[in-house]
Structure 1
């Protein structure tokens, strides 16, 4: 059974940039709770006089990208406080970086800035942005392999070998290239490989390439024992 990929939100970052300099982001300090944009899809009633079985029909309408918000420790006069105050009436490029390095980037208009100043507890603030347009998925860094790929199965003609991709940071997708004695096997680019007679006497390995929007990296497994005949 595969292990869960669940993670906690610790380490997430909310940052803002100006549209004039969309790659120059300022991290907002002391954020402790982030609510990313949430899409709501409209439905349009398309019922007509001949709708089958006197039943209403609907078609997809527009998507409202909703709001994004975060909670932060309120420190009057801090860089974060001033940045949020200065965002009033302006379009900002907002970016949420999740703990695994995946990012959501979107255009937001500051909708609310609500500090709370209690007598016997820390001061906090809630910041809300109205999202305009879709968010864009990305990554801040190219993938990095943290545990080498591996192969399971018996290196024997007709026996299926399966690739384990290993462990990677920054949530890549994977592609595979099987190798015989260090040389690529033509057409062997799936997560499994079945040795053939021509492989007898040679060791098999698999190279796994992880790719995300920021780039790619490749890691190669240890080789199997030499393939034996069936």
Structure 2
């Protein structure tokens, strides 16, 4: 049997850029999950009356880079999350920013980087769990993959 080369996500860090040159990326605190989803490619229908066998013909069109959902344990004192300077403030102001998902501490010298804005923020309050803040970041443009 061949051993898996996969890793768990423990140690993966989501970071927000400051927009300066050189850009400094600050890790968001208390992140419990990062989910990059919804990436897709539009289909363009090139079917015509002489399409072989009457089958539709498709080609790829525009690509949608998807969105990132990060779940955090919320504390309003945390500058990376709150409404003063953090992700909550980016939602309120409609600020765009560079982001980075760094997998170095998860065992890969690898990162994903991109551009986007906060398109949603949901709080969950229960008596049994920490207060959670789920932030949705709409990715805009291509996601770059590179060595960390």
What TM-score results when the alignment is normalised by the length of structure 2?
0.86
1:44 matched to 2:44? The reply is: yes
Q: Which runs of 4+ in 1 moved over 3 A?
A: 18-22
**CA apart distance, 1:139:** 2.2
2:60 maps to: 60
Question: Which whole-Å CA distance do the structure 2 matches of 1:37 and 1:137 have between them?
Answer: 16
Count of aligned pairs between the two proteins: 140
Distance 1:13 1:23 in 2: 17
1:30 maps to which residue? 30
1:150-208 Cα shifts (integer Å, max 9, x gaps)? xxxxxxxxxxxxxxxxxxxxxxxxxxxxxxxxxxxxxxxxxxxxxxxxxxxxxxxxxxx
Deviation, 1:21, is 4.0
C-alpha contact 2:29 2:81 (8 A) present in aligned 1: no
Instruction: Give distance in 1, aligned partners of 2:22 and 2:138.
Output: 18
Return the match for 2:139 from 131, 153, 159. 131
Which of 86, 90, 94 is the equivalent residue of 2:89? 86
- Structure 2: which 5+ runs fail to align? none
> Does structure 2 conserve the Cα–Cα contact (< 8 Å) formed by 1:36 and 1:96?
no
Compute the displacement of 1:38 (Å).
4.4
Shift of 1:118: 1.7
Q: Which residue of 1 aligns with 2:117?
A: 109
> SS at 2:100's partner residue?
strand
Query: 8 Å contact 2:29–2:78 — kept in the other structure?
Result: no
C-alpha spacing 1:29/1:110, structure 2 compared with 1 (3 Å): same
> Which gives a bigger RCO, structure 1 or 2 (Cα 8 Å, sep 6+)?
2
1:37–1:131 CA contact under 8 A, matched in 2: no
CA RMSD of aligned residues (A): 1.6
Question: How far is 1:37 from its partner?
Answer: 4.8
Partner of residue 95, structure 1: 100
